[in-house]
């Protein structure tokens, strides 16, 4: 309960304030650590019911010459502004249905339930980058451009004005030429499609015009949903140097229920259905040609975040955080997260599915000469399998990418790698949060070659997603630091930015912030900042 309780009384800190440094912040770190997540859960007498619904709050830790300042702002989304003006919740979110305006008469209120609700622009999930500009993003068709220095909210951007999609993820990928890739759904008479989007690299802006610009965005591949009226929910996707893999998992969006949910007064999370009778399908797409041929599949599982993917001797190796029960997403209601007793919180935690790192291996050379019912994975020291069950279809089993040691830390999530140098390439290390509690209570460094862990954990401290920052003269993959915001619910106004040596996973220093900061979602390091 304490991890979230301070979030109900938060105020923003628009002007940078100094922090108290303990230990040493390396002088070579020069930039801004940007974080995003829910920060306001009440308007007047109304409260959101789900953790994902809180109004977006952006945070900036500016690091320069061993010093750190902190600032924060609420995103001035249309949702935030309209809720503030009415002093009640007027825009529906993922887990909260906005009731009809009480000022309308009974007939107006009744008929308003038959109107398709507008998607929210409460972009509380991540900071993303397109054509050199920063945006904050959620999983609707709207993003908001923001100033990464002042955290000022700029214009709202609608994906539908650039490409034919109804939504886009908050986890794009970036190639080494500066292009950005993302995925978004589209719905129409022909069914539901998962669309791979490419936004070209930035160009020189004429007269340095300060405006959002996604011109040149294009859909490079449309994948039809296996069940047209029940497309899969997805939070992210996989990209290697030559391929994109979309994981069609058994968490389904029931479109019929979606059409009825407003009439019934139901929130969006209630149209999500976990269907363990369905297999998990891996759609492999060549990102240069947009072609998709072989169908790969595995048993039912869910994944929110991928770790990395790379090609090796005719195989695509995919590492992901996976679980076996996709019912859990709707469980993160504020009622569950604010349980009054430790016993109730423990009961809730024990009901949750653990997410663990897994490796899947996709053979890339499957053709008419490939034998049936024979393990095609010939990589040394790899226990993942892939068998062609019939022409053009390959069934896979995974390798557990961890030892039993991980289980004492409760599984892991929010993985991060040395993205700039190793995304889409063979790699050795990833960093993540360990979940021995409903909220993460440790930071982990995993060696995927040996499956050995390094751990940072202290009672009463709750870390956020770790972000790796490479040192300027790095010669090895883990030369650099790991940044994480640590929530301290047992002590008021003592949240701090933690800086770990990425190689040894020991603390170098921390920057203590004299304000309360909520537990958030995702962040990025902006070297320009």
Q: Residues marked as binding for Fe cation?
A: 171, 235, 305, 522
Element (H, E) at 89: none
Contact 93, 117 (CB under 8 A): no
Angle at 418 between CA 415 and CA 420, to 5 degrees: 120
Best CA proximity match to 113, nearest among 132, 84, 133, 92: 92
Q: Which residues are annotated as a binding site?
A: 171, 235, 305, 522
DSSP states of 277-328 as a string?
A: TSPEEEEEEETTT--EEEEEEESS-EEEEEEEEEEETTEEEEEEEEES-GGG
SS3 label, residue 418: coil
Q: In this structure, are strands 507-512 and 20-23 parallel, antiparallel, or unpaired?
A: antiparallel
DSSP string for residues in 447-514: ETTTTEEEEE--TT-EE---EEEE-TT--STT-EEEEEEEE-TTSTT--EEEEEETTT--EEEEEE-S
For 315, 377, 517, the CA distances from 496, given in Å and listed in that order, are 42, 45, 9
347: enclosing H helix or E strand? helix 342-351
User: How far is Cα 474 from Cα 269, in angstroms, rounded to an integer?
Assistant: 44
| 119, 262 Cβ separation under 8 angstroms | no
Categorise residue 129: left if φ over 0, alpha if ψ from -120 to 50, beta otherwise.
beta
CB-neighbour burial class of residue 503 (10 A; exposed 0-12, middle 13-18, buried 19+): middle
Residue among 20, 135, 96 nearest 522 (CA): 135
Dist. CA 52–CA 41, nearest whole Å: 10
Measured in residues, the chain has a length of 529
Of 174, 377, 195, 169, the residue nearest 285 (C-alpha): 195
| In 44-198, alpha helices (H) | 78-86, 106-112
Spatial separation of the C-alpha atoms in residues 227 and 188, rounded to whole Å = 13
Return the closest-CA partner of residue 498 out of 482, 517, 516: 482
Torsion of CA 360, 363, 367, 370, to 10 degrees: -90
Is there a contact between 478 and 418 (Cβ–Cβ < 8 Å)?
Answer: yes
DSSP-assigned states of every residue in 164-193: S-S---S--EE-TTS-EEEEEEEEETTEEE
């Amino acid at each position: 309960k304490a991890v979230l309780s301070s979030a109900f009384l938060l105020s923003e800190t628009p002007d940078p304030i100094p922090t108290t440094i303990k230990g040493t912040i390396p002088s070579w770190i020069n930039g801004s650590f940007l974080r995003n997540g829910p920060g306001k859960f009440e308007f007047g007498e109304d409260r959101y019911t789900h953790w994902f619904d809180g109004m977006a709050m952006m945070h900036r830790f500016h690091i320069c010459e061993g010093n750190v300042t902190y600032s924060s702002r609420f995103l001035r989304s249309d949702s935030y502004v309209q809720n503030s003006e009415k002093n009640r919740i007027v825009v529906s979110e993922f887990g909260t249905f906005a009731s009809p305006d009480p000022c309308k008469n009974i007939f107006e209120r009744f008929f308003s339930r038959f109107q398709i609700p507008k998607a929210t622009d409460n972009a509380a999930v991540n900071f993303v980058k397109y054509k050199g500009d920063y945006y904050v993003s959620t999983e609707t068709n709207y993003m908001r451009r923001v100033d990464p220095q002042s955290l000022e909210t700029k214009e709202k951007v609608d994906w539908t004005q650039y490409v034919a999609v109804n939504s886009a993820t908050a986890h794009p990928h970036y190639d080494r030429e500066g292009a950005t890739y993302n995925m978004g759904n589209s719905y129409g008479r022909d069914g539901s499609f998962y669309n791979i989007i490419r936004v070209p690299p930035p160009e020189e802006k004429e007269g340095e015009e300060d405006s959002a610009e996604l011109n040149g965005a294009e859909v490079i591949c449309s994948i039809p949903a296996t069940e047209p009226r029940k497309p899969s929910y997805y939070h992210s996707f996989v990209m290697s140097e030559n391929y994109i893999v979309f994981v069609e998992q058994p968490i389904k969006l029931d479109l019929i229920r979606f059409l009825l949910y407003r009439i019934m007064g139901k929130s969006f999370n209630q149209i999500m259905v976990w269907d363990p009778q369905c297999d998990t399908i891996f759609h492999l797409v060549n990102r240069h040609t947009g072609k998709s041929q072989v169908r790969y599949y595995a048993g039912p599982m869910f994944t929110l975040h991928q770790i990395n993917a790379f090609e090796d001797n005719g195989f695509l190796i995919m590492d992901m955080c996976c679980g076996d029960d996709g019912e859990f997403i709707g469980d993160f209601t504020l009622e569950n997260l604010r349980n009054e007793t430790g016993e109730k919180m423990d009961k809730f935690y024990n009901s949750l599915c653990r997410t663990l790192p897994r490796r899947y291996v996709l053979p890339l050379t499957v053709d008419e000469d490939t034998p049936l019912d024979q393990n095609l994975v010939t990589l040394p020291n790899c226990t993942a399998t892939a068998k062609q069950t019939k022409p053009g279809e390959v069934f896979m089993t995974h390798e557990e990418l961890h030892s039993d040691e991980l289980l004492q830390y409760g599984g892991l999530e929010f993985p991060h790698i040395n993205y700039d140098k190793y995304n889409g390439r063979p790699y050795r290390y990833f960093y993540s949060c360990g979940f021995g509690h409903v909220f993460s209570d440790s930071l982990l460094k995993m060696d995927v070659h040996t499956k050995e862990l390094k751990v940072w954990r202290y009672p009463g401290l709750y870390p956020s997603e770790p972000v790796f920052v490479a040192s300027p003269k790095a010669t090895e993959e883990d030369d650099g630091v790991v940044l994480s915001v640590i929530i301290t619910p047992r002590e008021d106004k003592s949240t701090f930015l933690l800086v770990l040596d990425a190689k040894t996973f020991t603390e170098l220093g921390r920057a203590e912030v004299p304000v309360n900061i909520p537990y958030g979602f995702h962040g990025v390091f902006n070297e320009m900042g």
